[in-house]
């Protein structure tokens, strides 16, 4: 029977650690979450020599065990807790041959925890170009480890690495730096108090705030003789860092030789343009437009296909299964529900294709550099620009894109405000309302009033996002001072394999995460729309026929029945029940029903109105709906329902209301709690209500 070896991959960001992971595991990887937090937990399995199975965990990239973010905390929490199920038998530290000096800092720290450690030096394919030569045997002896020289890009050295992993027991666990040399007297006392623990481990426990749930933590913290001020601790950590670098510099002086005449240029040359005061921004805007285009128009073709496909499937099911409730549920609830999930895939795939390319190439860090100053004012990160712009196509992939924002607070604010941007699902509603209430006039020769109104709505969306970000920034706790240190890595050609796996993983995450919720909600909504209390609903057909037989021609009878049913279904009742609340906004109960229905997806608003106005099956024809809406008159006042005031009020409501269950579902998944989507729901809805109220009352 095959044994399972537990392996942990650790390393600085930008060392190609992900590529190494992909090389080792291929498609055998899963992404989950660490319990309670939103850091991704990436695991996979690989076959090692000797029929041994390796369980690999790809830990978040970190520069040192002194964690400065939640991700980095994950690393240290694992390595200090022998009882954790992921605690590794062997650690592979992935380093970049061009940045060995800095990368080795982490390596020496891990060595000091006395876990069997292998040093993997990646990007060996670049050694010659950069004039770097290494004395591997010397390095191995000085660092007390085995070295695997690999190129994850070319795929070389991986087999040898696997061999080293399997023979992990042969690795020495001698530490590189003896922690006590930092401050001998202090550490001596520690050693006497806790003779069974590693000194370095104790030191980490003292200096970190992380939650270890280990027995010693309380003892250590409580004992006055061991506590030091924050400032003192930092000084000691600085001392430790300096000592480590001294050690590393000594080792590399002999073990590494760099021919500095070899060009260092590409990164500097590219940066001169890409971070340029003017060109940098122009290029960035260009790229943003490209991303926007792709999500907006390129994905529309596959989206239309998916739409038609599921519509066809729905009809097919309805016609070919025996008539009955289950058939209805499948054809009208489940199939459209699944369709509603699948339709997001093209947009998600395109967006993440671009984001992967930007991250993998190293350009994303430059984006942060360019945008950070402006964004920080609003509590956002430089990286928030991509989600915000993508949100104008669809909020779902946009919210997922916020994952690459390291700071939790900035990420949260980004996720919460992105839905304010005008997403494409609102367009059908906007178009029809605008054509109803805004005259087709051209002002000043070139400005089309309708076009301007549309642009104004887009602008409103952006303003909504920025202003709410600003407000959230003031309200949300900012417990710790955030220091800004962002590495600008070398530019490199994105690896197709990495990009592909990333897109695949994000798509799967969406389908299984948000998808389940959306499907469940679709089923519930179907139920509410196709059932009603009492006889009105049950006997819809006979009632309608009885009343309207003489008046309505047979071909419209089905629509009339459908309309009556909708009115008397649970959704209909909800819509009518909220009428008193929405009357001040200028809406009647029919609009009320449409609003409740469009909770599933905003574009459903128009279709629902079509059903209510008895146009049902021919409702796809926009002209028909428009005519019908224009003609709709309020029985009480004799005035048009869709007048200017109501129209503006509705437009504003749609601009600001949080109405899309898919967005709520993805927010829940990305923030790992219901608290935030609910706050979004109530906050935005209340705001939308107030704005629409004021607008209507002022304009009527």
Partner 1 sequence: MKTTLAALKKGQKAIITGFNIDAIPLKLLEMGCLPGNEVQLLQVAPFGDPIYIDVNDSHVAIRKETAAAIDVELLNDTSE
Partner 2 sequence: MDIQSIIAYILVAAAAAFLVKKFFFKKKKKKGCGEGDCGCH
Q: Does residue 485 bind partner 1 (CB under 8 A)? A: yes
Is there binding between residue 121 and partner 1 (CB under 8 A)?
no
Quote the least distance from Cβ 38 to partner 2, whole Å: 7
Q: According to the binding rule CB under 8 A, does residue 275 interact with partner 1?
A: yes
Q: Which is nearer to partner 2, 39 or 303 (CB)?
A: 39
Question: DSSP character for 3?
Answer: -
Q: Maximum distance among all alpha carbons in the chain?
A: 102
282 binds, among partner 1, partner 2, none (CB under 5 to 8 A by kind): none
> Distance between terminal CA atoms of the chain?
79
Shortest reach from residue 69's CB to partner 1, in Å: 9
Beta bridge partners of 148: 120
Instruction: Say which entry of partner 1, partner 2, none residue 327 contacts (CB below 5 to 8 A, set by partner kind).
Output: partner 2
* Using rule CB under 8 A, residue 22 touches partner 1: no
> Is residue 225 within the footprint of partner 1 (CB under 8 A)?
no
| Own/partner long-range contacts of 586-589 (Cβ < 8 Å, ≥24 apart) | 586/643, 586/645, 586/646, 586/649, 586/650, 586/692, 586/696, 586/700, 587/646, 587/649, 587/650, 588/634, 588/641
Q: Determine, following the binding rule CB under 8 A, whether residue 478 of this chain makes contact with partner 1.
A: no
Binding partner 1 by CB under 8 A: which of 298, 316, 447, 484?
484
Question: What are 697's two structure tokens?
Answer: 């009352």
Q: Which is nearer to partner 1, 267 or 492 (CB)?
A: 267
Examine residue 178 and tell whether it contacts partner 1 (CB under 8 A): no
Q: Is 488 in the site for partner 1 (CB under 8 A)?
A: yes
Answer for the pair 60, 37: CB distance below 8 angstroms, yes or no: no
Close Cβ partners of 315 (under 8 Å, ≥ 6 residues apart):
331
Q: What is the 3-state secondary structure (H, E, C) of 358-372?
A: HHHHCHHHHHHHHHH
Stretch that binds partner 1, among 266-274, 296-304, 330-338, 633-641 (CB under 8 A): 266-274
Q: How far is the CB of 223 from partner 1 (least distance, A)?
A: 24
Both structure tokens of 181 = 């040399």
Per CB under 8 A, the list member of 86, 89, 140, 271 interacting with partner 1 is 271
326 touches which of partner 2, partner 1, none (CB within 5 to 8 A by kind)?
partner 2
Residue 293 CA to residue 390 CA, distance in Å, equals 9
Tell me which of partner 1, partner 2, none is bound by residue 516, counting a contact when its beta carbon lies within the kind-specific cut-off of 5 to 8 angstroms: partner 2
* Closer Cβ to partner 2, 256 or 327, answer by number: 327
In whole angstroms, what is the distance from residue 206 CA to residue 301 CA? 57
Going by C-beta distance under 8 Å and a sequence separation of 6 or more, which residues neighbour residue 51? 2
* Cβ-based nearer residue to partner 2, 322 or 551: 322
- The whole-angstrom separation of Cα 199 and Cα 210 is 18
Provide the mask over 276-305, with x wherever binding to partner 1 is found by CB under 8 A and - wherever it is not: -x----------------------------
Strand partners, 134: 256
Measured CA to CA, the distance from residue 582 to residue 459 in angstroms comes to 25
In the bound complex, what is the minimum distance in angstroms from residue 287's beta carbon to partner 1? 17
- Nearest to partner 2 of 89, 328 (CB atom): 328
Residues numbered 35-54 forming contacts with partner 1, rule: CB under 8 A:
none
Look up residue 55 and give its two tokens: 């369980």
By a kind-dependent CB cut-off of 5 to 8 A, residue 324 interacts, out of partner 2, partner 1, none, with partner 2
> How far is the CA of 646 from the CAs of 39, 242, 640, in angstroms?
45, 68, 10
What's the chain's Rg over C-alpha atoms?
31
Total of residues contacting partner 1 (CB under 8 A): 36
Q: Which of 461, 281, 479, 476 is nearest to 379 (CA)?
A: 476
Residue 209 binding partner 1, by CB under 8 A: no
By CB under 8 A, name the one of 11, 255, 419, 489 that touches partner 1.
489
Q: DSSP assignment, residue 636?
A: T
State the alpha helices, DSSP H only, in 569-603.
570-577, 579-582, 589-597
**Among the residue ranges 19-27, 229-237, 342-350, 611-619, the one whose residues contact partner 1 (CB under 8 A):** 229-237
Which of residues 235, 262, 508, 675 is near partner 1 by CB under 8 A? 235
- In the bound state with partner 2, the residue whose beta carbon lies nearer, of 227 and 293, is 227
72: how many CB neighbours lie within 10 A of its CB?
22
Q: How far is the CB of 488 from partner 1 (least distance, A)?
A: 4
User: Which residues lie near partner 2 (CB under 8 A)?
Assistant: 34-39, 67-70, 73, 77, 208-211, 322, 324-329, 334, 408-409, 412, 477-480, 516-517, 519-521, 523-524, 527, 668, 672-674
Closest CA to 606 of 617, 589, 619: 619
Residue 257 parent element (H or E): strand 256-258
Lay out the site mask for partner 1 across 335-374 (x = CB under 8 A, - = otherwise). Answer: ------------------------------x--xxx-xx-
Q: Does 231 interact with partner 1 (rule: CB under 8 A)?
A: yes
**Nearest partner of 162 among 150, 174, 175, judged by Cα:** 150
Site for partner 1 in 77-116 (CB under 8 A): 98-99, 101-102, 105
Contact positions vs partner 1 (CB under 8 A):
63-64, 66, 68, 98-99, 101-102, 105, 231, 234-235, 237-238, 241-242, 245, 267-268, 271-272, 275, 277, 365, 368-370, 372-373, 483-489
């Amino acid at each position: 029977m095959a044994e399972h070896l537990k392996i942990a991959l650790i390393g600085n960001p930008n060392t190609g650690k992900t590529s190494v992971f992909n090389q080792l595991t291929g498609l055998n990887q899963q992404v989950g979450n660490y319990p309670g937090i939103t850091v991704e937990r990436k695991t996979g399995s690989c076959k090692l020599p000797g029929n041994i199975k390796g369980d690999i965990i790809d830990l978040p990239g970190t520069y040192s065990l002194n964690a400065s973010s939640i991700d980095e905390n994950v690393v240290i929490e694992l390595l200090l807790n022998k009882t954790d199920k992921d605690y590794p038998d062997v650690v592979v530290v992935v380093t970049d041959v061009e940045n060995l000096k800095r990368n080795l800092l982490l390596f020496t720290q891990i060595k000091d925890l006395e876990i069997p450690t292998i040093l993997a030096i990646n990007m060996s394919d670049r050694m010659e170009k950069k004039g770097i030569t290494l004395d591997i045997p010397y390095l191995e002896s000085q660092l007390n480890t085995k070295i695997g020289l690999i190129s994850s890009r070319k795929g070389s050295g991986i087999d040898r690495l696997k061999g080293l992993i399997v023979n992990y027991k042969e690795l020495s666990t001698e530490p590189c730096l003896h922690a006590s040399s930092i401050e001998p007297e202090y550490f001596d006392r520690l050693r006497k108090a806790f003779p069974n623990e590693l000194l370095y481990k104790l030191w980490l426990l003292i200096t970190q705030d992380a939650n270890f749930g280990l027995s010693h933590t309380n003892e250590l913290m409580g004992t006055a003789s061991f506590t030091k001020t924050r400032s003192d601790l930092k000084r000691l950590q600085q001392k430790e860092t300096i000592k480590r670098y001294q050690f590393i510099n000594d080792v590399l002086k002999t073990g590494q030789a760099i021919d500095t005449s070899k060009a260092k240029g590409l990164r500097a040359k590219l940066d001169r343009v890409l971070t340029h005061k003017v060109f940098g921004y122009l290029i960035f805007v260009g790229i943003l437009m490209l991303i926007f285009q792709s999500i907006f128009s390129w994905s529309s073709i596959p989206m239309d296909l998916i739409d038609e496909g599921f519509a066809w499937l729905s009809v097919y099911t309805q016609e070919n299964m025996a008539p009955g409730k289950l058939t209805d549920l499948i054809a009208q609830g489940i199939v459209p529900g699944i369709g509603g999930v699948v339709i997001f895939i093209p947009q998600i795939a395109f967006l993440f294709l671009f984001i992967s390319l930007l991250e993998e190439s190293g350009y994303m860090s430059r984006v942060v550099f360019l945008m950070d100053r402006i964004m920080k004012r609003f509590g956002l990160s430089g990286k928030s620009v991509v989600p915000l712009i993508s949100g104008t196509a669809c909020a779902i992939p946009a919210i997922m894109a916020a994952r690459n924002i390291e700071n939790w607070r900035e990420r949260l604010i980004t996720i919460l405000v992105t839905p304010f941007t005008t997403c494409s699902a609102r367009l059908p509603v906007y178009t029809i309302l605008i054509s109803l209430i805004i005259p087709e006039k051209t002002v000043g020769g070139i400005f089309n009033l309708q076009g301007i109104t549309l642009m104004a709505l887009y602008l409103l969306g952006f303003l909504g996002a920025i202003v709410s970000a600003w407000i959230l920034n003031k309200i949300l706790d900012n417990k710790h001072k955030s220091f800004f240190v962002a590495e600008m890595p070398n530019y490199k050609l994105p690896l197709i394999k990495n990009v592909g796996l990333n897109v695949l993983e994000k798509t799967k995450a969406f389908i299984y995460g948000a998808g389940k919720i959306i499907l469940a909600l679709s089923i519930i909504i179907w139920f509410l729309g196709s059932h009603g209390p009492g006889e009105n609903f049950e006997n819809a057909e006979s009632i309608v026929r009885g009343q309207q037989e003489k008046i309505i021609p047979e071909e419209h009878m089905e629509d009339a029945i459908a309309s009556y049913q909708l009115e008397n279904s649970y959704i209909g009742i909800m819509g009518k029940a909220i009428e008193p609340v929405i009357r001040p906004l200028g809406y009647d109960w029919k609009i009320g029903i449409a609003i409740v229905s469009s909770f599933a997806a905003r574009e459903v608003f128009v279709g629902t109105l079509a059903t209510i106005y008895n146009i049902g099956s021919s409702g796809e024809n926009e002209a028909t709906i428009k005519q019908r809406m224009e003609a709709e008159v309020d029985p009480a006042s004799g005035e048009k329902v869709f007048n200017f005031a109501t129209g503006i009020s509705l437009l504003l409501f749609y601009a600001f209301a949080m109405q899309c269950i898919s967005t709520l579902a993805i927010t829940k998944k990305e923030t790992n709690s219901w608290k935030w989507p609910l706050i979004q729901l109530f906050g935005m809805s209340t705001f939308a209500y107030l704005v629409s109220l004021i607008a209507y009352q002022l304009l009527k």
